[in-house]
Amino acid sequence: MISNGFFLRPDLIKALNEAGLQEMQISIDGVQANDTTHKVLANLKKRLQWLREYARFRVIVSGVLGACPPQDAEEVLSFAKQMGFVPRVLLIHDNEGQLKLGSEEAKIFEKLLGQLPKTFVDFSTYRKRLVRDGSAPFKCRAGSRYLYVDEYGKVNWCSQTRSVWSKSLMDYTRTDLREQFYQYKPCHATCTLGCARSTSQLDNWRAQPGFGS
């Protein structure tokens, strides 16, 4: 589950435990709110403490570079470690999921990667390529290996492509899974969405019409 954290309460966390939730991901843009974002540590700290106290599922907390002062991401990751959560660093993206990062953030990104547990650094290769080269092409399997279901029960490729393609989850079939597995996604090269990328990795060796052409 991906959450902004604002609606978390002890009773809801306990209900998620009972429902069998295995993992929750929360990304935090900085420490203090600004004109760009309110999804910051100052507004979420109490809810994160409730997660530590009540959650029986894995919690991943990501510091996001780009929305607040770059040093804020380091403080977010430090807090995540103190709480016993899995720390991760993400790159800010625009409303289409594309990379949006300055040179200072790029330097701090490299520094923060070195502070993460080795296992998670290994999964950051595409982020390094994005920062270094500006693109990191991959065969996106969103809509198949990765299903993003929004609050209206619609399956989308991801949170940033709702206006591109969607279909009701209740009408989703094996045929849809197969079609979307092979469907070329034109936004892939500069995509920063880790969920779509990580779930697509295992099938990188398989064909996808249009990729590389």
Single out the residue of 155, 145, 147, 141 nearest to residue 183, CA to CA: 141
The predicted model gives 74-89 an average pLDDT of: 91
Residue-wise pLDDT tens digits, 23-40: 999 999 888 888 878 999
Q: Which residues contact 175 (CB under 8 A, 6 or more apart)?
A: none
The predicted model gives 159-185 an average pLDDT of: 93
Instruction: List the chain domain ranges.
Output: 10-133, 148-203
Q: Is the pLDDT of residue 158 over 50?
A: yes
Beta bridge partners of residue 58, listed in sequence order: 23
Q: Is the pLDDT of residue 182 over 90?
A: yes
Mean pLDDT taken over the chain: 86
Domain at 10-133: CATH code = 3.30.750
Single out the residue of 83, 81, 101, 6 nearest to residue 47, CA to CA: 6
pLDDT band at 121 (very low <50, low <70, confident <90, very high): very low
End-to-end CA distance of the chain: 35
How long is the chain? 213
Q: Is the pLDDT of residue 80 over 50?
A: yes
